[in-house]
């Protein structure tokens, strides 16, 4: 067992108590949940994707439409990391909590499908998914896996099997709106929950960053586990600024076994 400081151990126990006493707990996960799986986040100094690239230049809908080759050249290393990534102990811990009735849903900003790979069933993907691709011309949708492997291995840009136009990964790029139905579902979960766990998110990207406030405004408890502080740390019942892949399994163990 990993030794924790007395303060961290107290926070783990308090978080576990909140889960045990909750009737509708919701997870909000961000890129920091997947960094232990080898997928870079966006904002960490020196290692985040946006510390190296200008997002509006490489990851915008306009770039995809006007210069798809440039978009796919930027996207290929990230797609490779996602394609080969496996869930880490934090993903597994959240899936175990759901399987045992302690989590109602996972709202995620991630597009890597690692929640699903770990076994989570109710996953609300706010920023889209890498699971499917959609034609930019005729809107025919296909499963991504047969196209991702040759793209990752050889740089083959995916084309529609019906009209041969470029296929777009079903992730939300800069300049695109969030899917309305997905956003409504996330808001409903935030407003109905009595406990929200924010994990691996800096809470800097709107409108998703506002979901914990919606939960707090309706009396929910809040737990935040992230490497850096967020704007809501002062409102949280529990905050832990440590590695999610060690803290979440410890909380899950405490929830299940006391």
Q: State the catalytic residues.
A: 127
Which residues have C-beta within 8 Å of that of residue 253, sequence separation ≥ 6? none
Burial pattern 195-213, b for ≥16 Cβ within 10 A else e, equals: bbbbbbbbbebeebbebbb
Retrieve residue 80's tokens: 């490779």
> Pick from 256, 78, 115, 107: which is nearest to 182 by CA?
107
> Pick from 121, 164, 168, 115: which is nearest to 141 by CA?
168
Enumerate the H helices of the chain as residue ranges. Answer: 6-21, 55-58, 61-66, 68-84, 89-99, 114-118, 145-154, 180-192, 211-217, 244-257
For 207, phi then psi, to 5°, come to: -90, -5
Asked whether 74 and 90 are in contact (CB, 8 A), the reply is no
C-alpha 161/C-alpha 207 separation (Å) is: 35
The count of other CB atoms within 10 Å of the CB of residue 244 is 26
């Amino acid at each position: 067992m990993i030794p924790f400081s007395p303060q961290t151990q107290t926070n783990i126990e308090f978080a576990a108590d909140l889960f045990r006493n909750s009737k509708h707990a919701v997870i909000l996960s961000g890129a920091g949940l997947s960094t232990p799986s080898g997928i870079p986040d966006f904002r960490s100094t020196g290692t985040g994707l946006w510390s190296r690239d200008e997002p509006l230049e490489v990851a915008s809908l306009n770039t995809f439409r006007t210069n798809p080759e440039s978009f796919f050249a930027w996207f290929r290393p990230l797609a490779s990391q996602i394609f080969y990534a496996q869930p880490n102990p934090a993903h597994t811990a959240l899936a175990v909590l759901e399987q045992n009735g302690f989590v109602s849903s996972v709202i995620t900003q991630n597009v890597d499908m690692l929640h699903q790979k770990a076994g989570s069933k109710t996953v609300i993907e706010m920023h889209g998914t890498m699971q499917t691709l959609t034609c930019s011309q005729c809107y025919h949708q296909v499963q991504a896996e047969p196209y991702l492997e040759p793209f990752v291995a050889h740089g083959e840009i995916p084309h529609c099997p019906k009209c041969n136009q470029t296929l777009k990964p079903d992730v939300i790029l800069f300049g695109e709106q969030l899917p309305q139905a997905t956003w409504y579902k996330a808001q409903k979960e935030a407003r109905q929950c009595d406990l929200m766990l924010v994990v691996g998110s800096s809470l800097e990207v709107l409108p998703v960053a506002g979901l914990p406030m919606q939960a707090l405004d309706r009396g929910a408890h809040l737990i935040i586990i992230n490497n850096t502080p967020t704007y809501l740390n002062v409102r949280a019942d529990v905050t832990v600024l440590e590695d999610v892949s060690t803290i979440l399994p410890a909380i899950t163990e405490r929830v299940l076994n006391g």
